[in-house]
């Protein structure tokens, strides 16, 4: 399906909000344990969504029960695993390295789609993936390829690779097997299943680690932001975007996340933007355009 301007604008919002999520998570590292942060984010999101979704959830309970298998798959993958693994990765890895690893998502989606789901891929899609990844690498290198040699890989980098795989599976399952249900009850059930999946690991973290939540106004604001923008709004945009253009094209937009993260960091630190940010943005947008063109 062809990418229209409205869908492009819709798919630009999730990476913007996810960039804000990464910045917020970095700001409160040390104040909130990572698994506890993931659990708190989704508990708050569920509490905010429940008043608007519970009636529709009751009305569609028969359909939800019919699709229990796919719900038990996408809930732990998209809500539970990805976000928890991302916060765990940020404990030992640098934001530059995790963003660089996250930029491989288009390759993950194309490869998994071809191998597991039998999806036909085109040369233009692989070329678009290469351009998009090149744009992210340019941001990570701060305009100088020599800076890439300074990136040191740590256990958190491997965790981020696993997070990429869980998000890729979530995206394809949502594309191929999404229940024909309104978004609100579908997301509410995903969140509920994700919370159940995260809770035992949060309990294990609390038992094994002396770290506890250090409450403050900044921590509360960060959690509220995480529960609303990158959770409720971004997931709605992502769900609608996948229904419009499939599973492949939205992942190219996800590569805008490190660009937005760099811009948000510059705004918070009052730094001026650089030419390589514009060049990277051009590469990513060029990759999106090339991969979304219909035909050979």
Q: Which of 165, 199, 163 is nearest to 88 (CA)?
A: 163
125-173 residue pLDDT tens: 777 777 777 776 776 676 777 777 776 667 887 888 888 888 888 888 8
Share of the chain above pLDDT 70, in %: 83
- For residues 30, 152, 201, 229, the Cα torsion angle rounded to the nearest 10 degrees is 70
Distance CA 66, CA 64 (A): 5
Predicted TM-score of the model (pTM):
0.78
Q: Where is 273: in which H helix or E strand? A: none
Secondary structure class of 76 (helix, strand, coil) = helix
Is residue 294 scored above 60 in pLDDT? Answer: no
Give the pLDDT score at 197.
95
239-278 residue pLDDT tens: 888 888 887 778 778 778 777 877 776 776 455 556 776 7
Q: What is the largest CA-CA distance in the chain?
A: 58
SS3 content of the chain, % helix, strand, coil (to 5): 80, 0, 20
91-100 residue pLDDT tens: 777 665 666 6
Distance CA 294, CA 122 (A): 10
Q: Which residues contact 91 (CB under 8 A, 6 or more apart)?
A: 29, 34, 156
Mean of pLDDT values over 93-112: 68
């Amino acid at each position: 399906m062809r990418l229209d301007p409205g869908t492009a604008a819709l798919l630009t919002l999730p990476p913007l909000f996810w960039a804000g999520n990464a910045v917020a998570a970095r700001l409160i590292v040390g104040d909130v344990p990572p698994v506890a942060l993931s659990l708190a984010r989704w508990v708050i999101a569920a509490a905010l969504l429940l008043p608007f979704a519970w009636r529709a959830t009751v009305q569609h309970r028969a359909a939800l029960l019919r699709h229990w298998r796919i719900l038990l798959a996408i809930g732990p993958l998209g809500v539970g695993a990805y976000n928890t693994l991302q916060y765990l990765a940020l404990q030992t890895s640098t934001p530059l390295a995790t963003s660089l690893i996250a930029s491989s998502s288009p390759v993950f989606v194309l490869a998994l789609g071809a191998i597991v789901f039998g999806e036909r891929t085109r040369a233009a899609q692989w070329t678009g993936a290469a351009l998009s990844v090149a744009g992210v690498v340019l941001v990570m290198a701060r305009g100088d390829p020599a800076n890439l040699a300074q990136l040191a890989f740590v256990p958190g980098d491997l965790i981020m690779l696993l997070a990429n795989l869980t998000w890729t599976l979530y995206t394809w399952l949502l594309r191929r097997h999404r229940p024909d249900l309104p978004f609100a009850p579908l997301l509410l059930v995903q969140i509920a299943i994700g919370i159940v999946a995260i809770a035992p690991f949060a309990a294990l973290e609390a038992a094994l680690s002396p770290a506890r939540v250090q409450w403050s106004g900044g921590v509360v604001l960060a959690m509220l932001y995480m529960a609303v923008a990158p959770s409720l709004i971004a997931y709605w945009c992502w769900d609608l975007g996948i229904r419009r253009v499939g599973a492949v094209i939205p992942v190219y937009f996800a590569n805008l996340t490190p660009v937005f993260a760099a811009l948000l960091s510059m705004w918070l630190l009052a730094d001026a933007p650089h030419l390589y940010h514009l060049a990277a943005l051009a590469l990513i947008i060029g990759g999106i355009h090339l991969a979304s063109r219909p035909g050979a």
